Structure 1
Amino acid sequence: MLAMNKFRILGTTAIVIAASIVFTSCKDKRSTGWEYAPNMYEHTAYDPDQPNKNFKDGKTAQVPPAGTTPIGFRRFDFPNSREGYDNASASYHLDSLIAQTPGHLAEGKKLFTTFCSPCHGLTGQGDGLVVQHGYPAPPSYSTGQSSRGGAMKDLTDGKIYHTITYGVNSMGSYASQIAPDDRLKIVMYVHQLQKL
């Protein structure tokens, strides 16, 4: 008799549990049920476009503090002017910025081929595909004259880097397309083309 009461109690408990599961699961179709880690689904972080009372201006997305440099960014504090071009020539040197290795030179060649050769040509003679379609030819790196004065073969690291960053004449800026370290590799390769 004692064993029968145990089976009845266990059976009744199982029926109650099953009924409560069925009843609670049918209650709300949109309910996800119990959540093991609700912070995985409902984050407390602010989205960049949300208002945020933690800052004085009420914005979540904040401008970086003045004078800071992002990780992986190389500062180039020369303005887009003739004076900036001349100052870059005098004080911006590859030796202090990047190791001149065969690997960097090879990467510079690939970058030059991708970004520069359409106008400058594969050997820097100003005979790229764009020129063949009727656009004005840039001067040759080895024999041409710079529009800013002087021979192209005498362009310094800073002058070439400044030109890639800001552009000159028909050439636009490549600052948004070529990373600062990659520009240095291109400068390294252009020096090879100046010797041709």
Structure 2
Amino acid sequence: MNKIKILGITAISIAASILVTSCRDKRSTGWEYAPNMYRHIAYDPDQANPNFADGKTAQVPPKGTIPVGFTRFDFPNDRGGYDSASVVAKNPLPANKKNFEDGKILYEHFCSPCHGKTGEGDGLVVSHGYPAPPSYSKGQSSRGGAMKDLTDGKIYHTITYGVNAMGSYASQLSPQERWKVVAYVHHLQTL
């Protein structure tokens, strides 16, 4: 056979295979590189799921479940919880330079607008007509006692739940960040 016949047969074979494969289902996109990306096995949260008695995929976590990274603070937002936290809750973080510096930065960002840079209750909001919070070193707590005598638990409870005009900072500061602020507030109590 000569070369022209071989090339002709090859060209006709290629053309025939293209024609045959192109006449299939028009909705097909061809080969899928990663079919699990298009048709995954897992149920979507809003899909019905026959594996559960109530037929829902999104289930409520079992009672007592604690999310990963969550730290439980089992003191209620009342005077009894405040007093209990005063005795029981202790700062779990080591008293080192890194935690102190982190606490200072967090305090300056979140607390100093009201409490002032040195904790004297002379923050920026006071100059705008808001009532001054008590000084950490000289003031008296609205719950009784001197501010300089506040314990870890009392400060943490107040940051978590708020008191008087101060709102809760639980959504702005993680539990670990709150403990860092507690460590820095103890420094301000001694000034």
Tell me whether the two structures share a fold, i.e. TM-score over 0.5. Answer: yes
2:154 is aligned to: 159
- Which residue identity lines up with residue 166 of structure 2 in the other structure? M
> 1:132, CA displacement in angstroms?
1.0
- 2:86 paired with 1:86: no
- 2:132 paired with 1:148: no
- 2:9 paired with 1:14: no
Q: Secondary structure at the match of 1:139?
A: coil
Indicate which of 31, 37, 45 corresponds to 2:34. Answer: 37
- 2:90 paired with 1:67: no
Tell me the distance in 2 between the aligned counterparts of 1:39 and 1:143: 65
Runs (5+) with no aligned partner, structure 1: none
- Which residue identity lines up with residue 93 of structure 1 in the other structure? K
- 2:119 paired with 1:104: no
> 1:16, CA displacement in angstroms?
0.6
1:113-128 equivalences under 5 Å are: 113-128=108-123
- 2:179 paired with 1:179: no
Taking a change above 3 Å as real, the CA distance of residues 18 and 57 of structure 1, as seen in their structure-2 partners, is: closer
- Which residue identity lines up with residue 63 of structure 1 in the other structure? V
Indicate which of 52, 55, 59 corresponds to 1:58. Answer: 55
Tell me the distance in 1 between the aligned counterparts of 2:117 and 2:123: 7
- Which residue identity lines up with residue 11 of structure 1 in the other structure? A
Tell me the distance in 2 between the aligned counterparts of 1:117 and 1:49: 44
1:135 is aligned to: 130
Tell me the distance in 2 between the aligned counterparts of 1:123 and 1:80: 27
Tell me the distance in 2 between the aligned counterparts of 1:59 and 1:18: 47
* Range with greater deviation from structure 2 (159-168 or 13-22): 13-22
> 1:124, CA displacement in angstroms?
0.8
* Range with greater deviation from structure 2 (62-71 or 171-180): 62-71
Tell me the distance in 2 between the aligned counterparts of 1:111 and 1:179: 11
Tell me the distance in 2 between the aligned counterparts of 1:58 and 1:106: 51
Runs (5+) with no aligned partner, structure 2: none
Percentage of identical aligned residues: 63
> 1:21, CA displacement in angstroms?
4.8
In the alignment of these two chains, the number of paired residues is 191
Tell me the distance in 1 between the aligned counterparts of 2:128 and 2:48: 52
* Range with greater deviation from structure 2 (97-106 or 56-65): 56-65
TM-score, with length taken from structure 1: 0.89
> 1:2, CA displacement in angstroms?
7.6
> 1:56, CA displacement in angstroms?
2.3
- 2:188 paired with 1:193: yes
> 1:42, CA displacement in angstroms?
1.9
> 1:85, CA displacement in angstroms?
0.4
